[in-house]
Amino acid sequence: IVGDGAVRMTGMEMATAVAQAAGVAWFVFNDGELAQISQAQQAPYNRKTCTVLPPLDLEGLAQANAVEFLHIDGDSSVEDVVARALDTARAGRPVLVDVRIDYSRRTCFTEGTIKTNLKRFGVGARTRLIGRALWRRVTG
């Protein structure tokens, strides 16, 4: 399981998987952002800096690397597509699965990170940080 941002950084490992006939299945969480960083920026700064990504043609990337491609169209196709991907990998063929997701709600990871980091600050620093975040929310 990997995000679309990570695939942009390390996706050429697909060529190695093909060359070695490694049965690897990549389930790419595709949301067009470096999601964890983006959410961590949005909370205190009310903006996303350099974390929103342009569209990535995952099917084209798979095709360019001779990797099989599958796409999860919605909840009803999850079970079938996952089974097909695992069968493909078991047969020694790499497969990339495009999993479109929506991170419009913060993840538990982001919520936990914010709470943990706030606890590390003293009262003065915590008050300044929360005050700045509120100011950015109000003023845009």
What is the CATH classification number for the domain harbouring 79? 3.40.50.970
Q: Is residue 116 part of a domain?
A: no
pLDDT tens-digit map of 113-123 = 777 877 888 88
Q: How many CB atoms lie within 10 A of CB 118?
A: 13
Res 40 pLDDT > 90: no
- pTM, entire model: 0.70
* Residue 89 binned pLDDT confidence (cut-offs 50, 70, 90): very high
Region 112-135: what's the mean pLDDT? 82
Alpha-carbon gap, residue 79 to 63, rounded angstroms: 23
* Residue 91 binned pLDDT confidence (cut-offs 50, 70, 90): very high
Q: Is residue 78 part of a domain?
A: yes
What is the pLDDT of the chain when averaged over all its residues? Answer: 85
When divided into structural domains, the chain yields a total of 1
* Residue 35 binned pLDDT confidence (cut-offs 50, 70, 90): low
- Domain extent at residue 42: 2-106
C-alpha Rg value of the chain to the nearest Å: 19
Q: Is residue 127 part of a domain?
A: no
Q: Say which residues have a Cβ less than 8 Å from residue 132's Cβ, sequence separation at least 6.
A: 44
Helix axes 35-45, 123-139, angle to 10 degrees: 90
Q: What value, to the nearest 5°, has the Cα angle with vertex 53 and ends 47 and 59?
A: 155
Helix, strand, coil distribution of the chain in percent, nearest 5:
55, 15, 30
Write down the pLDDT at residue 95: 98
Q: Is residue 131 part of a domain?
A: no
